């Protein structure tokens, strides 16, 4: 992208404001457009971000757009963080109807948009599918943050389980499927450095033969550990979303699990909705989808996850 990168943030709550700060801190944007229904909140956040401008590596302008959704049409990238986390306090699907109602307000107004969207709002896969339908955009224009976050939580859990012996950034471990309760770990593709977990289980069973179900559950429910103490999650998801924005701005061809539309030809016979599988993210958004060779058990979990997403889509379908 050119040097005048415009990023819109839709929803200036805990996550949206952290995304804005992370983008500015990494010098990824020249202009930030902040949209939120609560005007006083936008005023305060814009002022705070502008006060911080001397500490960022690149000078930028931050604009208060309040409910001017059309201002987002001029952005290169829009980050959708418009959600209601309190509704998901006890149920990962708790935000379904309230976030769907929010999406109905703005997505149709982005018809004709030529940029990219990173959608965080939950249920992530359902809302990404909804944006695709209501805004009538090309599928590659929309990337859900999806299990990019949960995969980081899996690496955290693996790091803890194996005694902090290796940097989490040296661990490859992917959660796939829904960003929700039906997500699952692709254990057949977990690596420490270049060494498969399966090989390490044979050579060092004392460290690497562990309860995989417990580690997977720690990744799946990691957000609730955070939520219990402070009523939200913010740092990890904001950084996950910012990594996707960075991949688009820098055209870095990042490979990560994130929400993408499963193609008509199918991904293990699933198609027609967004969910998280390994994707190449670059200047054109979701540029390439990888078909992982999943075990029979992993395929079964993938189908179950897709069924859950489809069930939720039917509950809010308005197209």
Which residues are catalytic, by number? Answer: 179
**Residue with tokens 């936008």, as numbered in its chain:** 42
Question: Vertex 247, ends 288 and 160: CA angle to 5°?
Answer: 95
Question: Vertex 89, ends 87 and 92: CA angle to 5°?
Answer: 80
Structure tokens at 218: 């720690």
SS3 293: coil
Distance of CA 20 to the CA centre of its chain: 15
Instruction: Give the helix/strand (H/E) hosting 126.
Output: helix 124-135
CA torsion 11→238→146→186, rounded to 10°?
-170
Q: Return d(Cα 50, Cα 14) in angstroms, integer.
A: 17
SS3 54: helix
């Amino acid at each position: 992208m050119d040097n005048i990168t415009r990023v819109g943030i839709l929803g200036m709550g805990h996550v949206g404001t952290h995304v804005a700060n992370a983008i500015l801190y990494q010098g990824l944007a020249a202009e930030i457009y902040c949209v939120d229904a609560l005007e006083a909140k936008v005023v305060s956040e814009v002022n705070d971000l502008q006060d911080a401008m001397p500490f960022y590596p690149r000078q930028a302008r931050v604009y208060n757009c309040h409910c001017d959704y059309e201002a987002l049409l001029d952005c290169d990238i829009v980050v959708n963080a418009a959600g209601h986390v309190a509704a998901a306090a006890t149920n990962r699907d708790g935000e379904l109807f309230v976030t769907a109602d929010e999406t109905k307000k703005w997505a149709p107004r982005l018809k004709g948009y030529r940029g990219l969207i990173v959608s965080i709002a939950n249920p992530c896969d359902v809302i990404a599918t909804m944006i695709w339908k209501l805004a009538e955009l090309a599928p590659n224009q929309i990337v859900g943050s999806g299990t990019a976050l949960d995969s980081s939580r899996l690496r955290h859990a693996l790091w803890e389980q194996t005694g902090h012996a290796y940097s989490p950034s040296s661990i490859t471990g992917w959660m796939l499927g829904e960003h929700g309760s039906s997500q699952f770990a692709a254990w057949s593709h977990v690596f420490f450095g270049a060494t498969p977990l399966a090989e390490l289980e044979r050579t060092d069973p004392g460290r690497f033969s562990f309860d995989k179900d417990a580690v997977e559950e720690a990744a799946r429910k990691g957000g609730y550990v955070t939520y219990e103490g402070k009523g939200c999650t913010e740092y990890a998801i904001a950084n996950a979303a910012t990594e996707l924005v960075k991949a688009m701005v820098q055209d870095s061809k990042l490979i990560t699990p994130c929400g993408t539309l499963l193609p008509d030809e199918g991904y293990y016979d699933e198609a027609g909705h967004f969910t998280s599988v390994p994707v190449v993210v670059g200047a054109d958004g979701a540029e390439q989808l990888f078909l992982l060779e999943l075990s029979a058990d992993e395929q079964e979990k993938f189908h179950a996850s897709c069924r859950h997403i489809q069930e939720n889509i039917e509950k809010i379908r308005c197209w």
